[in-house]
Structure 1
């Protein structure tokens, strides 16, 4: 919930990631290949990226009846995609020449503040707002050859204020009820704006004009302490999203031939769901949790000529996972902290759509873990392994597989 207190009076976080080798190779004309090794020419798409983020947050407690939380966050991300002809599509080192390049950058600066006002021991009001300034930089696109191009897209800046308000009622020491409303500003993924998918990925082209999604969320729920060691939370929510980003096929006029595919802003989504969270504490050091959410999304939008967007009215949105499940164990003793987490997300596509290939949104079950050590009360070093069993699945693109992360956190 947006109105939960932070654990520390002052908190700063920073992170940086640089992926130098991200990319894929593909066959140019698979139907012409012969032989058991499927040898042949192809292309190599290399799309390294950089991400940098920083957040600083401060909480002021017991200012009369107020508790105020405020902060600033900054996020910057950039990518450059280079595409090459290969003499052997199995070998990304068999480069003949570079034939295309795409690049772009996004930045997001956010300022947020929230005030908790306690009327008395039973009633609390939470009021807050977040200001986002999101900037898409100029995109650059180049390709050689007969159908080549050399062009740029104009950057654009978005400014948006997202309000949040919640009312909480503490019926007794073991039972809380709340109702809340909030808005959110969701910038599109970087690769949807700037990256060319290539013929091997279905001829997906960039959309530098893609706008952020704007969502409104209503929620009502309860929090109950069943025993000294057991807690149960239940919430009902509804989310309305405008300018929904949709993966769209564009056909040749009066034809079923796909000329290209592109992510566009299309229609509205209405999502409803219920979430249950149960926590049990075995002792002062070991606790467990189980979280389950069921949800259903419906999408509406007008007909767009020569596309697969034929006009919908409350049609099922298969991009919304119907089932989300989390469970795990958390350990915290002296200087050591550890977590074992399991998560399941159901498929996010029509049951008749193919899975296990580019463009699919497969269901998946992952096991993740992390171990941390408090060097001092304020300084923590943590090592994490995501996707321990190296599960392979597609979330539109092939996912990263087993991932190792070493991080530090400083609180003051």
Structure 2
């Protein structure tokens, strides 16, 4: 028998900076942005059976209300006290594995999930109460065709139901096509073949899925990987589609812009890595992503809808240097928009950029090991200026502004014993303005994270 139990609790402001709305209204988030995450997880394994239970809840003070501070909803007055925003997730699953013989293994899982997303209680009767439940069954089998090849076949089915009982934003009694609740069915069949051939390791898969709202879709996946002495390569082609959430579909339908086609994507990825020396390796990655019928937020109608198509591309370089006591891991990533006909997140003055996502980012982790149980860490991030909505009296977006480059550095000392782990140091060493930026025109101005602060982290393992 194997068992495990983990839990975490948190308490504190997610920002201590002054926040300014798009129309110039501002107030201090310190003592107005308390966030309290709670996470509990239990796992029990016995004789091939696996039981898992999860409980997660985030309770947070909210005076921003998506950036308009109450102005968009009756009585159209500023909040003078914080609303309570909560997210609740509870799930339990029971799985079983069977090794029938040397070649065939079967597994199945039953899962029940209950969630209460974006629930709130607030000033002026701004209360929102909704829940969603899902019951799911998964079955799959893995068959060894030979020593170097296998075939995976599986399926899943789930039934989910959403219900809204309170809302100040919309009429809950007719939210879902004239009712306060709605349900969906979804099932899929998939197969994946993997074999280690002389020229490459080949993985080919195909998935058929049918959802009440998104309809039927057939998506393939193919990857080729090959390793030589010091060189490795990888080629991947993948297709996918997105199943919209209940409230996304309801929002679009009630605004008169219903979602008629599923959002689909195609991606191509190529990676090459080389071991330069025993201590140094370099890996490069290129990708291209095409998204059709993108479902997002339309600021003009304040609802979700199908916005259009876009294509992005990018690259990533990673350098690892590992000596006896000094380890360095440096990473550079580049992102650009190759083509887009969507206005709600693109930048008129810069066709290569979108709201919220930086075009350039550099990350580095330096750590020096003093002894087997103690080491010093220096973590650094340099993020190129992100475009953000910062000024508009109409509380939509206005002309996006490019923010300053972010230099975010953490330094801390780590010490480990048999049962404990200690981290002591400084976060945001240079007191840089690190922002959370809304990646679409939704009325939310940037939110600054916390300033320089002392960090003490303690972990105990039984």
Instruction: Provide TM-score, normalisation by structure 1.
Output: 0.57
Q: Aligned residue for 1:224? A: 274
After superposition, the Cα gap between the structure-2 partners of 1:373 and 1:274, relative to the gap in structure 1 and judged at 3 Å, is: same
Number of equivalences? 340
- Residue 182 of structure 1 and its aligned partner are, at CA, apart by 2.7
CA contact (8 A) 1:280 1:288 kept: yes
Q: Aligned residue for 2:225? A: 168
Question: What CA distance in whole angstroms lies between the structure 2 residues aligned with 1:404 and 1:73?
Answer: 40
Can you give the 5+ residue segments of structure 2 that lack an aligned partner in the other structure? Answer: 1-47, 175-179, 189-206, 208-218, 439-443
Q: CA RMSD in A?
A: 5.9
- Residue 159 of structure 1 and its aligned partner are, at CA, apart by 4.5
CA deviations over 1:194-235 (Å, ceiling 9, x no partner): 99xxxxxxxxx9x99799854332112211011111100012
Q: Aligned residue for 1:180? A: 236
Question: What CA distance in whole angstroms lies between the structure 1 residues aligned with 2:61 and 2:286?
Answer: 39
Structure 2 residue matching 1:354: 3-state secondary structure: coil
Question: What CA distance in whole angstroms lies between the structure 1 residues aligned with 2:423 and 2:261?
Answer: 36
**What are the residue-to-residue correspondences of 1:56-71 with 2, within 5 Å?**
none
> Is it true that 1:21 corresponds to 2:31 in the alignment?
no
Question: What CA distance in whole angstroms lies between the structure 1 residues aligned with 2:421 and 2:239?
Answer: 34
CA deviations over 1:142-169 (Å, ceiling 9, x no partner): 3469x86544242334445465432222
CA deviations over 1:336-376 (Å, ceiling 9, x no partner): 687643334445547xx437999789675544678585747
Q: Aligned residue for 2:294? A: 244
Question: Paired residue for 2:164, among 140, 158, 171?
Answer: 140
Structure 1 residue matching 2:60: 3-state secondary structure: coil
CA contact (8 A) 2:297 2:344 kept: no
Q: Aligned residue for 1:81? A: 119
Question: What CA distance in whole angstroms lies between the structure 2 residues aligned with 1:238 and 1:373?
Answer: 42
Question: Paired residue for 2:380, among 342, 350, 358?
Answer: 342
Structure 2 residue matching 1:220: 3-state secondary structure: strand
CA contact (8 A) 1:102 1:194 kept: no
Q: Aligned residue for 2:362? A: 325
Question: What CA distance in whole angstroms lies between the structure 1 residues aligned with 2:459 and 2:271?
Answer: 34
Q: Aligned residue for 2:127? A: 100
CA contact (8 A) 2:120 2:128 kept: yes
Which structure has more relative contact order (CA 8 Å, sep 6+)? It is: 2
Of the structure 1 ranges 19-28 and 241-250, higher mean CA displacement relative to structure 2 is found in 19-28
Q: Aligned residue for 1:271? A: 312
CA contact (8 A) 2:258 2:305 kept: no
CA contact (8 A) 1:127 1:165 kept: no
CA contact (8 A) 2:373 2:416 kept: yes
Can you give the 5+ residue segments of structure 1 that lack an aligned partner in the other structure? Answer: 1-9, 31-38, 86-96, 196-204, 251-259
CA contact (8 A) 1:126 1:165 kept: no
After superposition, the Cα gap between the structure-2 partners of 1:143 and 1:107, relative to the gap in structure 1 and judged at 3 Å, is: closer
CA contact (8 A) 2:317 2:331 kept: yes
After superposition, the Cα gap between the structure-2 partners of 1:28 and 1:140, relative to the gap in structure 1 and judged at 3 Å, is: closer
- Residue 290 of structure 1 and its aligned partner are, at CA, apart by 1.1
**What are the residue-to-residue correspondences of 1:198-217 with 2, within 5 Å?**
213-217=263-267
CA deviations over 1:15-46 (Å, ceiling 9, x no partner): 6532223422565569xxxxxxxx97657543
